[in-house]
Amino acid sequence: MIGIVIVSHSLALAEAAHDFASTMAPNSSLKVEIAAGDAQGELGTSATKIASAIKRAASGDGVWVVVDLGSALLNSEMAVDLAGASNYEIVVSASSLVEGLTAAMATAARGASLTEVELEACRASNLQQLSLPETPQPDVWSGWDDAAALETTARIVDKNGLHARPSARLAQAVASFDAQVRIRNSSRSGPFVDASSITNLMTLGASAGDVMTIESCGRQAQETLDQLRDLLSDGTNPAESNPEQELIGVSSGVAVGPVVRANRSRTDWMHATYEALSVSEEQDRFNAALEAVKEELLHLAALTRATTGDSEALIIDSARNILDDFQLLNPVRNEIQTGTSALQAWVVEVSSLLARVESLPEPYQRQRATDIRDLRDRVAAELAGVPASLEDLKSGIIVAAELSAADVAQLDPKSCLGIATTHGSRTSHASILARSLSIPAIVGVSAETIEALIGRTVLLDASASEIIVDPTDEQIEQRTLVNESNSLTEHEDQAASEQKVASHPVTTSDGLAISVGANVALPDQAVEARAAGADSVGLLRTEFMFANWAEAPSADQHYQAYADIANKLDGRPLTIRTFDSANDKPISFLGGNLSEGPRGLQLSLAYPRVLGDQLSAIARLSFETPVRLLFPYVTNAREITEVKNLLVKVAKTHTSSSVLDSLKLGAMIEAPGAVLDIKAIAEEVDFLSIGTNDLSSEMFGLDRRDPGAYSTLSAFDPAVLRLLKIVATEREELPISVCGELANEQDAVPLLIGLGIDQLSVRPSKVSLVKDEVTRWAKSEATDLATKALELRNGEQVRDLVQQVRANRGLEAILEREKIVEETD
Amino acid sequence: MNITASELKTWLLQYGQLLIEQTEYLTKLDSAIGDADHGVNMQRGATAMRQTLTETTKTAPSELLEEVAEAVLEGIGGAAGPLYASLFFGMAGAVDGETSVTPQQLGDALQAGVDSLAARGRAERGDKTMFDAAGPAIEAFRQTLDAGDDLNTAIEAAESAANLGRDETAPMQARKGRASYLGPRSVGHIDPGATSVALLFEALTELSGTENS
């Protein structure tokens, strides 16, 4: 896979472009590096910074560099010169930053070559320009002889429409004849354009089925028309004539059960009776519906953030942000003001937006339509008072035309045995969630097949991409066996790749051991964590496994869930954190959404039966496998004393030893106030864990749910680092870990080591990166860096410092290499 | 008769001196059609270059020029940094292995430097860039030597060609760099880059008399 470098005058700009483009390549292991700001850290670019970013991103498959403007290009080319001869190719892209990067990340994530990535990036940049309505059309019709012109029509057969490649073939054909040719999309009553220009052809907006009118005059007019008609009617990707689409398994596993239709039809709200009230009541209804849907998405984003990661959650956050967009909301409100019902005003306005998005030329641009349609239906269903989610499903295999990620996130994994849908792909958000929830899922099931399946019993084999109606016992037994042995092989494969990544513990370059664990929210991620080479699970967020439960789980249910995860870890330690209910991840059986009042451990202590069941399950597991117990959002030492008493009371000790001997207890330091009480807290526990997300957002009064306000940069702030320093100094020899987003940042790793942190717990996908970074620093060097960072003024300066130090090391390496070359000469 | 690293040092120290003296003027020019940072950037680059020149232990012209290139690259920064660095890297490459250079070799080196500058900036004559001063200057320098005249005459010819080239950027419409965003509004102003590069050729007069000494 190629590496990518973003070169920008501004770090903020580069990061925003990266975040934005990341939504096109979710969960990919793409290496993307940023080189932003000049040598002084001001707006500008620096050749040495770029050279070192190229080196960091380097892979045998090459490095693709995208730049913003002006000196960024000059410095990037200079950096390529500075890098000298290497065993990988470097392309400084001709594409534009946002469009190019977005296309490049999507293309590179699927393993495309450097050339292919550059091609796609340039194509995306050009298309962006073409879709501007003001694109000037050259006047080529002088000398056009209407009387002599011949005419023909042709229907587009290529299912992707007249996109870039067929346009190029068409333009080439035109150029090979002695004739003038013009073409228009008659199905859309478009204007004539010059057929010899690829860019003009692409403005036709010609989709499969559209009829083109082609006119030609000149010596070879007839031959030209014949050839063009053949080209247009002979697409290389003809539209599917076969209604039986190809089934694609998008997760693995086998499920057997009755087929149940997902309750919510996307158009249920259309059939609901809706009685419009007064204008002001309609405005209120509209606002209430918006709020309700936003609330729902907020919950979903938190779940996604914990299960799949930040870039995934960002998709949902950005969908939620659409509901705050005045460009969309104002026309709706104005329409309601004229007496139209809220439902009608909303649906008409969003549907027109939807039509515009759906007519965008590229499939990945059109994908936005799924989000917008989902929003339209959610708000409309809320207004019409019809169910918008899939909660009340009978147990079985769920079928639907399309499920959004939101739908899948809301499924109860206990009753949903499998999923079959018409639309979707392996990379769609819904499929990703299905995989992490271990639900066997197949897409590409035709509407006819779905209708025929309802009520029948089927065997859904996602691994083999097959659905068998009314399976025999023999078939069920055989498929299940094959699947089990397959998943065993998969595990062996994973074990093999585990050998390749850093599966062994790492140390700094001067030998200080730093443990790198993984943050896990769902059982699937435990396998991922082990495969990624995590030394442990440094944080199991228990609230997500039970997020949709109306009742608190029993001690047995807790035990089963945790034992299942421990089994997947092959003896690596498992750190289980008790429920942490907060604004962005409310738990219904702990009082639901709390905007005020206690959270974390303090809240759980108010529900001693719920907490007691959880503690007794963890205690039971601790006698069988290495487990550590972690308490969230501890604010003072008294809470620990209290929870210890409860723990001793509920733990069923089978031996004479106390549970406190076998179970290590830890406190999460997330409340800034807890730092002031750290000595007393440290006396009560065996280890400390710092949650930098809450710590920094609370310090600066930022709302973590607001992607505009909160960024990881806040956690780089020297004030946050100073708090970490206090904890590290006063910890009384206790091991101390950091499990917030900050630990996932390559730039933060040396700072944390320098401040005295012993353990980092990160997203499974970041384990190998973080381990690699640990080995690149000496403890003494990290300490110097951290000491300097504490003196700076803001997070940006801190990050710049780390990057500057790294860039200098890169330059030193370049000079060192040149010196060696000189000496050998 | 030949030019050594020590003479090149004198030339570039003088160039740095001129840049520092002209900081305000360059700023004024750049505020008309750019982002008003060329003066300050060149002054910072000049300081970095002069520090390198006073501390260097290099005696080979190519090594000295490489050090200067590295100093101005980040010292000047912006777009001019890599452009000037390209000029000096280009020169360094042309005199690789020499302990001193003849006036003809200096001409070849300057030509290589200016070529590399133009290539880096993808500049053509008339784009209203550094190349509009550097191009005519190096042509004049080499033509004068080819005609059999001495180094002093060649330097004079280069200096006046550079100044003429600089002044002729005034009526041009910028097609490269920040000024190009102004379109027709860039007309009527002298290009700051062409001005700073003309100083490089003006500083060459420090080498006059080398031949006679």
**Chain A closest-CA separation from residue B178 CA (Å):** 7
Cα(A279)–Cα(A332) distance, integer angstroms = 12
DSSP track, A362-427: SHHHHTHHHHHHHHHHHHHHHHHT---S-TTPPSEEEEES---HHHHHHS-TTTEEEEEESS--TT
**How far B78 CA lies from chain A's nearest CA (Å)?**
6
| A44 with B77: Cβ contact below 8 A | yes
Question: Is the pLDDT at B111 greater than 90, yes or no?
Answer: yes
- Tell me what the mean pLDDT of segment A582-597 comes to: 65
Query: By C-alpha distance, which of A371, A347, A369, A374 is closest to A358?
Result: A369
B67 to chain A: closest CA residue: A815
Any chain A CB within 8 A of the CB of B43? no
For residue range A740-771, list pLDDT tens digits in order: 888 888 889 999 999 999 999 998 878 888 88
Which pair of structure tokens corresponds to residue A110? 């699927």
Alpha carbons B15 and B191: distance in angstroms, whole number:
18
Distance CA A676, CA A673 (A): 5
Alpha-carbon distances of A509 from A764, A776, A779, rounded to whole Å: 23, 6, 8
Q: Is A74 on the interface with B (CB under 8 A)?
A: yes
Three-state DSSP at B196 gives: helix
Sign of the four-CA dihedral A650, A653, A656, A659: negative
B62, B72, B73: best to mutate for the A interface, most A CBs within 10 A: B73
Nearest to A3 by CA among A86, A125, A124: A86
Whole-number CA gyration radius for chain B: 16
Residue identified by tokens 């003024």 is A793
Give the mean model confidence (pLDDT) for residues A11-19. 91
Burial category of A78 from C-beta neighbours within 10 Å (exposed 0-12, middle 13-18, buried 19 and up): buried
Which of chain A's residues have a Cβ under 8 Å away from the Cβ of B85?
47, 78
pLDDT at A103: 84
So what's the pLDDT on residue A150? 85
Give CA–CA dist A218/A230, Å, rounded: 19
Which DSSP helix (H) or strand (E) runs through A118? helix A114-130
Task: Report chain A's mean pLDDT, rounded to a whole number.
Answer: 80
> From CA A125, how far away is CA A95, in angstroms rounded?
6
Q: Do A71 and B81 touch (CB under 8 A)?
A: yes
DSSP state of A247: P
What is the per-residue pLDDT for A582? 66
**Cβ(A64)–Cβ(A118) under 8 Å?**
yes
d(CA A643, CA A204): 69
**What does the angle CA A533 – CA A537 – CA A538 come to, to the nearest 5 degrees?**
115
| For range A401-429, the mean pLDDT | 74
Range scoring the smallest mean pLDDT among A85-94, A160-169, A599-608: A160-169
Q: Is the pLDDT of residue B146 over 90?
A: yes
A-B C-beta contacts closer than 8 Å: 41
Provide the mean pLDDT of chain B: 91
Q: Nearest CB to B83: which of A48, A74, A81?
A: A74
Residue A48 forms contact with B (CB below 8 Å): yes
Subunit contact A47:B74, Cβ cutoff 8 A: yes
Minimal CA separation from A815 to chain B, in Å: 11
Mutate to test the interface with B, among A74, A808, A818 (most CBs of B within 10 A): A74
Q: How far is C-alpha A306 from the geometric centre of its chain's CA atoms?
A: 11
Q: Quick one: pLDDT band at residue A680, thresholds 50, 70, 90?
A: very high
- Rounded Cα–Cα distance for residues A298 and A658 (Å): 42
A784 touches chain B (CB under 8 A): no
What are the helix (H) ranges across chain B?
5-21, 23-33, 38-55, 61-76, 80-94, 103-121, 131-146, 151-167, 192-203
> Which runs of consecutive H residues, i.e. helices, occur in A708-794?
718-729, 748-755, 767-775, 779-790
Nearest residue of B to residue A72 by CA position?
B79
Per-residue pLDDT tens over the stretch A689-716: 999 888 888 888 776 555 445 566 778 8
Instruction: Tell me what pLDDT residue B141 has.
Output: 96
Rounded to the nearest 5 degrees, what angle is found at the Cα of A534, between the Cα atoms of A529 and A535? 135
- Residue B13 burial (10 A CB sphere; 0-12, 13-18, 19+): middle
CA separation for the pair A681, A781 (Å, rounded):
30
Residue with the bigger pLDDT between A263 and A117: it is: A117
Nearest CB partner across the interface for A78, out of B85, B177, B178: B85
- A47:B89 CB<8 A: no
- A173 at interface of B, judged by CB pairs closer than 8 A: no
Task: Report the DSSP pairing between strands A506-507 and A513-520.
Answer: antiparallel
- Highest-confidence segment of A165-169, A550-554, B159-163: B159-163
Name residue, tokens 């967009």.
A325
Q: Sign of the C-alpha dihedral, residues A726, A727, A728, A732?
A: positive
Contact B77 A38 (CB under 8 A): yes
Across the interface, whether the CB atoms of B82 and A40 are under 8 A apart is answered no
pLDDT digits (tens, 9 = 90+) for B42-60: 999 999 999 999 999 999 9
A160 touches chain B (CB under 8 A): no
Mean pLDDT of A196-207: 70
Q: What's residue A404's pLDDT?
A: 72
Res A122: pLDDT: 80
Greater model confidence, B73 or A321 = B73
Q: How far is Cα A692 from Cα A713, in angstroms, rounded to an integer?
A: 11
Kindly determine whether residue A71 and residue B79, on different chains, have CB atoms separated by under 8 Å. yes
Q: What is the pLDDT of residue A237?
A: 42
Interchain CB distance below 8 Å, B79 and A47:
no
Catalytic residue check, A163:
yes
| H or E element, residue A230 | helix A221-233
Contacts of B83 in chain A (CB under 8 A): 74
Residues of A in contact with B92 (CB under 8 A): none
Confidence of residue A396 (pLDDT cuts 50, 70, 90): confident
The Cα–Cα gap between A664 and A655 comes to 17
A444: left (phi over 0), alpha (psi -120 to 50) or beta: left
Q: Mean pLDDT across the stretch A509-525?
A: 88
Mutate to test the interface with B, among A78, A82, A92, A812 (most CBs of B within 10 A): A78
CB contact under 8 A, B82 and A77: yes
Of A99-108, A130-139, A271-280, minimum mean pLDDT range: A130-139
Q: pLDDT value at position A422?
A: 81
> What is the average per-residue pLDDT within A16-36?
84
Compare CB distances from A48 to B74, B79, B178 and report the shortest one's residue.
B74
Look-up: residue for tokens 């299960």? A307
Contact A471, A477 (CB under 8 A): no
Q: Report pLDDT for A586.
A: 64
How far is the alpha carbon of A7 from chain B, nearest alpha carbon, in Å? 13
Residue A150 distance to chain B (closest CA, Å) = 43
pLDDT above 80 (res A552)? yes
Closest by Cβ to A77, choosing from B73, B120, B178: B120
B74 reaches A (C-beta below 8 A):
yes
Tell me the mean pLDDT in the region A465-472: 88
Question: What's the pLDDT score for residue A544?
Answer: 79
Q: Phi/psi of residue A150, each to 5°?
A: -100, 155
Cα three-residue angle A521-A524-A530, rounded to 5 degrees:
95
Chain B residues near residue A808 by CB distance under 8 angstroms: none
A78 touches chain B (CB under 8 A): yes
- A81–B83 CB contact, under 8 Å: no
Residues 86-145 of B with CB under 8 A from A: 86, 89, 120-121
What number is the average pLDDT over the span B1-23?
A: 92
First to last CA, chain A: 35
Give the single-character DSSP code of A256. E
**Is A47 within 8 Å of B73 when comparing Cβ atoms?**
yes
Task: Determine contact, residues A210/A156, Cβ cutoff 8 Å.
Answer: yes
CB A769 within 8 A of CB A742: no
Chain A residues with CB-CB distance to B82 below 8 A: 47, 71, 74-75, 77-78
Q: How far is A811 from chain B (nearest CA, A)?
A: 11
Q: How many CA atoms lie within 13 A of B133 on its CB side?
A: 24
What are B105's two structure tokens? 């070799």
Q: What Cα–Cα distance (Å) separates residue A726 from each residue in A635, A784, B78, B115? A: 16, 17, 41, 58
Q: How many CB atoms lie within 10 A of CB A791?
A: 10
Asked whether B165 and B194 are in contact (CB, 8 A), the reply is yes
Does residue A22 carry a pLDDT above 50? yes
For tokens 């500008």, name the residue. A44
pLDDT-derived band at B200, boundaries 50, 70, 90: very high
Give contacts of A74 with chain B, Cβ < 8 Å: 79, 82-83, 120-121
The end-to-end CA distance of chain B, in Å, is 7
In terms of Cβ atoms closer than 10 Å to its own Cβ (0-12, 13-18, 19+), residue A706 is exposed
Q: Which of A284-288, A632-636, B89-93, B169-173 has the lowest mean pLDDT?
A: B169-173
Residue A133 confidence (pLDDT): 42
Q: Which residues contact A327 (CB under 8 A, 6 or more apart)?
A: none
Confidence of residue A219 (pLDDT cuts 50, 70, 90): confident
Report chain A residues whose CB lies below 8 A from the CB of B89: 81
Options A163, A299, A429, A558, the catalytic residue: A163
The residues that bridge with A630 in the sheet, in sequence order, are A577, A666
| Contact at CB, B74 and A75, closer than 8 angstroms | no
Cβ contact A580:A543 at 8 Å:
yes
pLDDT in tens, A339-352: 888 988 888 888 77
The DSSP 8-state label assigned to residue A541 in this structure reads E
* Structure confidence at residue A538 (pLDDT): 94
- pLDDT single digits (tens) A643-674: 999 998 888 655 556 777 778 999 999 998 89
